[in-house]
Amino acid sequence: MKNLNYTREDIIRRTGDKLNLTRDEMKLILDTTLDTMADMLTEKKSRIRIELRNFGIFEVKPTKAKPRARNPRTNEEVFVPPRRKIHFKPGKIIRQELQQEWHPSD
């Protein structure tokens, strides 16, 4: 089965067509939105949450340090320091759509 990859340009084109905006106008809107979200998610706080109703939730969560993690290639034990990770939880509409029975067409 072949993967279907969408890019930023695909989003710009489709959204611009829906809103009757030029490519340059839509590119500015999308780039500004994504830059703003990236700035919000990388703030120096331990827990950050961006909730987009009917789409989903982006959440930054802290992780604990792992003093005895193992490198699978060398079996060497390494220390992994605490860090933050991002988690996405899809909204109700997307979740319901993905939970329906699916038969691949490719």
Model pLDDT for residues 8-46, shown as the tens digit of each residue: 999 999 999 999 999 999 999 999 999 999 999 999 988
Question: What is the structure's pLDDT at 21?
Answer: 95
Indicate the angle between helix axes 23-41 and 8-19, nearest 10 degrees. 120
pLDDT digits (tens, 9 = 90+) for 44-71: 988 999 999 999 999 999 999 998 889 8
Which residues of the chain form beta strands (DSSP E)? 48-52, 56-62, 66-70, 77-80, 84-90
% of the chain with per-residue pLDDT over 70: 98
Amino acid sitting at position 38? A
| Banded model confidence at residue 102, pLDDT cuts 50, 70, 90 | confident
Strands 66-70, 56-62: pairing is unpaired
User: Model-level pTM?
Assistant: 0.78
- The residues near 84 (Cβ < 8 Å, ≥ 6 apart) are 46, 60, 61, 62, 63
Identify the pLDDT of residue 79.
92
Q: Which pLDDT value is given to residue 3?
A: 85
| Fold entry, domain 47-101 | HU Protein; Chain A (4.10.520)
Buried b (16+ CB within 10 A) or exposed e, 86-97: eeeeeeeeeeee
Q: How far apart are CA 47 and CA 45, in angstroms?
A: 6
